[in-house]
A and B are shown apart, each in its own frame.
Chain A
Amino acid sequence: MPNKNQHSDLDESINVTEAHGRIVREAAACAREKRIVQNGIEPVSLWALGACAIVFVIAGGILGGGGNLFAYGTNFREGYVRTPAPGAADSGPVPKEALVAYMAKGAKIYSAKCNGCHGSDAKGNGATFPSLVGSKWVLGETERFAMIVLNGLQGPVSNGTTYGVMPPQGIGMSPEDLAGVMTYVRNNFGNSKGDVVTMEMAKAAIDVSGVRKKVGTSVTGPELESDHLKNLSGTPLDPKTLVDPITLEASKLP
């Protein structure tokens, strides 16, 4: 097949049918295409309109069911956030680990009763108000510590120093309060005993305090050495046990 460009005079010599065929060959896919005819005039069918009408009713129901859509005073629709499960409402606050819960309680007692003299850092002033940080009376035997808190302290102590008179703090102090403040002081301000003085122990301390030889007076150094150099009785509590943060009772939730 000769190349058409080799012919000097296209008008004369080109085979029209061949050229036509060649062009159409190259545009074969385009040549067999159909033209787009638009504008069908079929009417919109009734069932399509019916389906759309149903959807409009549903959409209207959604907007209507939304209640007052422009109530900017509230953040979300009343009743959308679900109420607690039946029985869950009276299970009380979220339980916390014992050490955390006791210390949170103790922090309040400390700031109410101890802060004035021993200071917010528990370092006292070194003269009349002794430091509680690293003190062996704080970190040592719990009964001795409890007696001082409940009854106050006067007179010289075993190393010969005489601090100022500590007033008794036990009046109106519940076992939870005592347990909380003792746990707090033993695990805060740089102290890290890591154990919990339980409510049971605190109750025992209050009982012991009530049957002392000289009930109603502040304890003295010699009395502590002779009568109270021991730990309070009671079952130790794993500091990770979950307890109710308000009552400090062991949590009933799983």
Chain B
Amino acid sequence: MSSANSTTSEQDAILRSGIDRSLRHPVMFFLTSGAAWLAVSIVLGIVASWKVHSPELLSGCAWLTYGRVFPAHINALIYGWGFQAAFAIIIWMMARLSRKECKAVGTILAAGHIWNLGVALGIVGIFAGFSTGIPWMEFPIFAWPVLLVSYISIIIWSFIQFRVRPEGHVYISQWYFLAAMIWFPWIYITANTLLLCIPGHPLMGVAINTWYKSAILFLFFTPVALGAAYYLAPKVTGSSVYSYSLAKLGFWSLAIIAPWAGMQKLVGVPIPYFLPYVGAAATVLLFVPAITASINILKTATSSRDVLKGSPSLQFMTAGIVGLVIMACAAVFLNLPNSTLPLSQFSMSGYGFQILALYGFFSLVMFGSIYFIVPRVTRREWLSRRLIKMHFFFSIYGIMTVALIAIFGGIQQGAAQEAFEQPWQNAATSAFPYAVATTIAWCFILFSNVFFFLQLTLMWLRLGRRSSHPTLLTSSHDSSSSPHGDDGDIDNAGPAFQATH
């Protein structure tokens, strides 16, 4: 490495370090409060899914009935955890990619607190019985403008950074982030206007709501996670993105197909009936953007097996992309109108599919990003590779159980429901083991996240490892016996040190 090169890369490192420094408070705020909501949501998810097979649990308490716990669970998962993780990743990666320090830390932090307040009041509102009753939009009406305003106050700065970036190529991640940042207000304002402000015919309301749920998944969470994956895979491995053509194909097919999806859940409902059929076709076609992006990212991430084995970010991200592949296959398998759609329309497969998307794909990619970002913004390394491994494996077991339930249990339950000459009890009986398995899966996920919460909290308290060596899942060949690298090796750091993370 020549000295001129070395100086440039040092200056570059200092610039990037400055960007990380400027964002440490908002990023850590979103990640820690998001993780707290994830914990709340998982506990509520366990309670809700327990009630599916043992309805008498906690039934004496009005605010702990299924009709309140379940919406609280899913809303905490989406607006508490999902959106805040997305905020942290968007503001950090957009700043890095635009090469600009964040100048609006105070505004973002204030808006983040307001967002949290909105979510908290919304959850309390659901528990108190003031839910709107519209799936994924159950918060009482007052919460929605609050969330929109704080969303805009958080996200607008990433737009500004993008506008004032040094001229140059717009990277793939930036396409996805910008698209998600624009698409979310569109779907959010549309759904809120048509459902809460000027409600029309209730049947069309149901249709708009199913579209909103699908659009949140495929027009916000999916592009955010894909943007993060497109950032992490080449960044950690150091190799180029496998194919630029695939990336373009994946992005534009998502942009064209995803807005049509969603209404297939209403086959048989008296709405103009091209809507459910177009929805079913579009959901099936989502296989195309999902599989092209997955191939691209997986080919990039697996270009170096050693790096993949060692890096927690890359492992989580890869697992999330595998989740996307499974989700894409499930989207094809569960939405065939004349065979599987009637079976999956009213069975647990719908919920399973959403959890597969929200956790098996989106959240795993977010965890990967978190394992990459947090050491940079806190300037501490993760404490223990064992905690990371526990988090990883129990998450995978939990989410695999949910995915299996989604696909097989939902079909079984749906088939039992279709046999309408039999008593309804038969359908409930055939769903019972799968309901129990869902509860167990949530327990696995909670168990895995205990390790994540513990370690994230310690990192937030700046109690992470002071070292220039990353915490890798495998010990590098030339390091000493200590799993954490050499003690006091902080002075050995330098640009020549080529470990990857």
B133 at interface (Cβ–Cβ under 8 A)?
no
Task: Let me know if B295 and A48 touch, CB within 8 A.
Answer: yes
* B379 with A37: CB separation less than 8 A: no
- The residue that B274 contacts in the complex, of A20, A23, A40, A70, with Cβ under 8 A, is A70
Question: Is A42 among interface residues, defined by CB-CB distance under 8 A?
Answer: yes
Partner of B375, one of A29, A76, A81: A29
Residues on A with beta carbons closer than 8 Å to the beta carbon of B152: none
- Name B271's closest neighbour in chain A (CB-CB): A75
Question: Complex Cα distance A55/B325, Å?
Answer: 14
Residues A80 and B292 in contact, CB atoms below 8 Å apart: no
Per the bound structure, the CA–CA distance linking A60 and B277 in Å amounts to 10
Q: How far is the CB of B90 from chain A (nearest CB, A)?
A: 17
Q: Are A62 and B468 in contact (CB under 8 A)?
A: no
Is B501 at the interface (CB under 8 A from chain A)? Answer: yes
Bound together, the chains give a CA A41 to CA B247 distance in angstroms of 11
CB-CB under 8 A for A65 and B291, given A34-B235, A43-B245, A75-B270: no
* Chain A residues numbered 68-91 whose CB sits less than 8 Å from any CB in chain B: 69-72, 75-77, 80-82, 85, 88
Q: Which of A44, A51, A62 has the most CB of B within 10 A?
A: A62
A208 interface residue, CB < 8 Å from B? no
Query: Would you call A44 and B243 a contact (CB within 8 A)?
Result: yes
* Nearest-CB residue, chain B, relative to A39: B244
Interface residues as binary, A19-61 with B (CB distance below 8 Å gives 1, 0 otherwise): 0110111111111111111111111110010011001101110
* Complex-state Cα separation, A27 to B21, whole angstroms: 10
CB distance from A38 to the nearest CB of B (A): 5
Chain B residue with Cβ nearest A72: B272
Q: Is A31 within 8 A of B493, CB to CB?
A: yes
Interface core residue of A28, A44, A71 (most chain B CB under 10 Å): A28
Q: Are B495 and A55 in contact (CB under 8 A)?
A: no
- B389 at the A interface (CB under 8 A): no
Find out whether the CB atom of B284 lies under 8 angstroms from the CB atom of A55. Answer: yes
> Is B246 in contact with chain A by the CB < 8 A criterion?
yes
Q: Which of A23, A69, A82 contacts B277 (CB 8 A)?
A: A69
Find chain A residues with CB under 8 A from B376 CB: 29-30
B97: nearest chain-A partner, CB-CB: A36
**What's the dominant secondary structure at chain A's contact region?**
loop
Q: Check A32 against B497 for contact (C-beta < 8 Å).
A: yes
> Which residue of chain A lies nearest to B242 when distances are taken between CB atoms in the complex?
A40
Specify which chain A residues have a CB less than 8 angstroms from the CB of B468 in the assembled complex.
25, 28-29, 32
In the complex the two chains form, is A69's CB within 8 Å of B274's CB?
Answer: yes
Interface residues of B in 231-255 (CB under 8 A from A): 231, 234-246, 249
Q: Give the residues from 278 to 303 in chain B that come closer than 8 angstroms, CB to CB, to chain A.
A: 278, 280-282, 284-285, 287-288, 291-292, 295, 299-300
B residues within 8 A CB of A51?
287, 291
Contact A33 B16 (CB under 8 A): yes
Chain B minimum-CB-distance residue to A71: B273
The interface residues of chain A lying within 8 Å CB-to-CB of B243 are 40-44
A66 at interface by CB-CB < 8 Å: yes
- The B-contacting residues of A in range 140-154, CB under 8 angstroms, are none
Interface size on A, residues (CB 8 A): 49
CA–CA, A56 and B281, complex, Å: 9
Query: Is B454 in the interface zone, CB < 8 Å from A?
Result: no
- Is A63 part of the contact surface with B, judged by Cβ < 8 Å? yes
Whether B117 is near chain A, meaning CB under 8 Å from some CB there, is no
Q: Are A66 and B284 in contact (CB under 8 A)?
A: no
User: B407 to nearest A CB, angstroms?
Assistant: 17
A105 to chain B, nearest CB (A): 31
On whether the beta carbons of A33 and B13 are closer than 8 Å, the reply is yes
CA distance A64 to B51 in the complex (A): 41
User: A55 touching B277 by the CB < 8 A rule?
Assistant: no
Q: In the complex, what residues of A have CB within 8 A of residue B235's CB? A: 33-34, 36
In the complex, what residues of A have CB within 8 A of residue B269's CB? 76
Are B234 and A62 within 8 A (Cβ)?
no
From known contacts A32-B501, A43-B245, infer whether A55 and B287 are also in contact, taking CB-CB under 8 Å.
yes
The answer to whether B284 and A27 touch across the interface, beta carbons within 8 angstroms, is: no
Q: Which residue on B lies nearest to A59, using beta carbons?
A: B281
With beta carbons under 8 angstroms apart, the residue of B20, B287, B491 that contacts A30 is: B20
Q: Is B490 an interface residue (CB 8 A)?
A: yes
Given A31-B10, A34-B235, is A62 in contact with B281 using a C-beta cutoff of 8 Å?
A: yes
Q: Chain A: residues with CB nearer than 8 A to chain B?
A: 20-21, 23-45, 48, 51-52, 55-56, 58-60, 62-63, 65-66, 69-72, 75-77, 80-82, 85, 88
Query: 16 additional contacts, CB 8 Å, given A21-B494, A40-B242, A40-B243?
Result: A24-B13, A25-B490, A25-B491, A28-B379, A28-B490, A30-B376, A31-B13, A32-B499, A34-B235, A34-B238, A39-B244, A41-B245, A51-B287, A58-B284, A62-B284, A65-B277
Q: List 18 A-B contacts (CB under 8 A).
A: A27-B13, A30-B16, A31-B17, A31-B495, A32-B495, A32-B497, A40-B242, A43-B245, A44-B292, A51-B287, A52-B291, A62-B277, A63-B278, A65-B277, A66-B273, A77-B273, A80-B268, A82-B420
| Across the A-B interface, the 9 shortest Cβ-Cβ residue pairs | A27-B17, A75-B270, A69-B274, A34-B238, A66-B277, A28-B468, A31-B13, A42-B243, A59-B281
Give the A-binding residues of B (Cβ under 8 A).
Answer: 9-10, 13-14, 16-17, 20, 169, 171-172, 231, 234-246, 249, 267-270, 272-274, 277-278, 280-282, 284-285, 287-288, 291-292, 295, 299-300, 332, 335-338, 375-376, 379, 381, 420-421, 468, 470, 490-491, 493-495, 497-501
